[in-house]
Structure formats: C-alpha cells, structure tokens
Amino acid sequence: MYVCNCFGVTEAQVKKHAEDGACTPRQIASACKAGTDCGSCVRRIQALLGRGACPRPELVDRGEAAVALASGVGLPEAA
C-alpha cells in the first residue's frame, strides 16, 4: 500500500527505513522524500513508526539511532 503518493513510497519501504534506524518522519523524509511535498502522509508515517520506537532520542538528533538500535544501548535489561 502506498503511504506517499507524491513520491510513490510504500508502507514496506517506510518500515524498512525504520528497521534501518529511521525513528522520525524527518528521518524517513531524508531516506526517501516521503512527507516532503504535500505532507498528507506525515501522520501515516508517524503511525507506522509508533511511539517509543527509538531507545535513545538524543542519538536521533545526532543521527546515531541505527547504532543505538544495533547495539541495544538504552534498551532495558531482560529480567
């Protein structure tokens, strides 16, 4: 299913970018331009990303989310 009709970006593509470390609509836009034209898809992108998807938001600001996700940094320890 298409999320962004302006640039032909699908749900699967957004999910793939999220798996690769994109945690915000802005990061998705950087990866594939979705959300940068008319903006009607931004809420759908937000819904696909969900809340709390990034373990360390301060790393998102520096573009290091993929490192944090890959290393498990900031994730709660298993009991």
Residue 75, pLDDT score:
44
DSSP 77: P
Concatenated DSSP letters of 25-75 = HHHHHHHH-TTSSS-TTHHHHHHHH-TT--S-HHHHHTT-HHHHHHHTTTP
- What is the predicted pLDDT for the residue at 77? 46
pLDDT in tens, the chain (79 residues): 999 999 999 999 999 999 998 989 999 999 999 999 999 999 999 999 986 556 555 555 555 544 444 444 444 444 4
Q: What is the pLDDT of residue 60?
A: 53
Total-model pTM: 0.65
Comparing C-alpha atoms, which of 77, 33, 25 is closest to residue 54?
A: 25
**Amino acid identity, residue 64?**
E
